[in-house]
Homo-oligomer: A and B are copies of this chain.
């Protein structure tokens, strides 16, 4: 019987790595600001793109409608973000960071960068670039095989 060594299997290896990394990073902001990973992602997008819709956030973060909707609801309750709706299209929300949210963003961004730096010391710049190129190629290939599975 043909065997499979999980520890050498790419999807599994990436899953373990990414989950540990996300969880470790989350400890940096989770209890400090009482926000979850989806909530942080919403804040991260709004820090970069102010006044966008929930769907735009979903597109940027690859989170689905529902996850974004609930993250937005929690952030509104915590007053980390504000919401209006477009006059021209009242279906579309217009999200932006409230003062408290800007503080979270300003505090977390350097920590996140520090964390990334603390990990990527294992790469010299060229190797890191190659690793990133690998991620991009896999990402593209994922989309290519999509649907077309066996």
List of B residues within 8 angstroms of A6 by Cβ: 41, 44-45, 48, 60-61
List of B residues within 8 angstroms of A145 by Cβ: 24, 115, 118-119
A137 within 8 A of B: yes
Contact at B132–A131, with CB atoms within 8 Å? Answer: no
Complex CA gap A112/B121 in Å reads 33
Cross-interface CB contact of A137 among B122, B139, B141, B146, cutoff 8 Å: B122
Contact residue range for chain A?
35 or more
List of B residues within 8 angstroms of A99 by Cβ: none
Stretch of A77-85, A87-95, A103-111 with 4 or more beta carbons under 8 angstroms from chain B:
A103-111
Residue of B nearest to A102 (CB): B1
Contact at A150–B17, with CB atoms within 8 Å? Answer: no
Contact at B11–A14, with CB atoms within 8 Å? Answer: no
A3 within 8 A of B: yes
List of B residues within 8 angstroms of A34 by Cβ: none
Contact at A146–B13, with CB atoms within 8 Å? Answer: no
A27 within 8 A of B: yes
**Extra contacts besides A10-B120, A15-B22, A123-B134 (18): CB < 8 Å:** A1-B109, A3-B48, A4-B44, A6-B48, A7-B60, A9-B112, A11-B112, A11-B115, A14-B21, A20-B142, A24-B142, A24-B146, A28-B149, A119-B138, A122-B138, A122-B140, A123-B137, A134-B134
